[in-house]
């Protein structure tokens, strides 16, 4: 029986539209945006404190974002 080091694995974030992996948890970084309305630290993937920022597009559209040092995301439409 082989033991596997859990540190070798990283969690993945998938695209809501197509299901493709767009980033892994080990590429998440904390980079503040001047455009954020509000920011806070949150626990993602059980123990990692991540900077989450709330961006506002108009009066009714607000969405939380996290930042990553790399991604495989490809823009689509009015991206």
3 DSSP assignment: -
Residue 45: closest CA among 7, 19, 4, 78: 7
Residue 39: closest CA among 71, 69, 66: 66
pTM of the model: 0.71
Residue 25, pLDDT score: 86
Helix, coil or strand: residue 76: coil
Residue 60, pLDDT score: 84
- pLDDT one-digit tens code per residue, 45-78: 776 789 999 999 888 888 899 998 988 877 776 6
Rounded Cα gap, residues 57 and 41, in angstroms: 21
Helix, strand, coil percentages for the chain (3-state, nearest 5): 10, 40, 55
- pLDDT one-digit tens code per residue, 6-35: 556 778 888 888 888 988 888 889 999 998
């Amino acid at each position: 029986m082989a033991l596997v080091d859990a540190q070798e694995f990283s969690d993945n974030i998938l695209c809501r539209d197509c299901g493709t992996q767009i980033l892994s948890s080990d590429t998440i970084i904390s980079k503040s945006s001047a455009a954020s309305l509000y920011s806070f630290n949150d626990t993602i993937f059980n123990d990692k404190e991540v900077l989450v920022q709330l961006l506002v597009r108009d009066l009714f559209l607000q969405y939380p974002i996290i930042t990553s040092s790399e991604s495989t995301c490809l823009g689509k439409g009015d991206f």
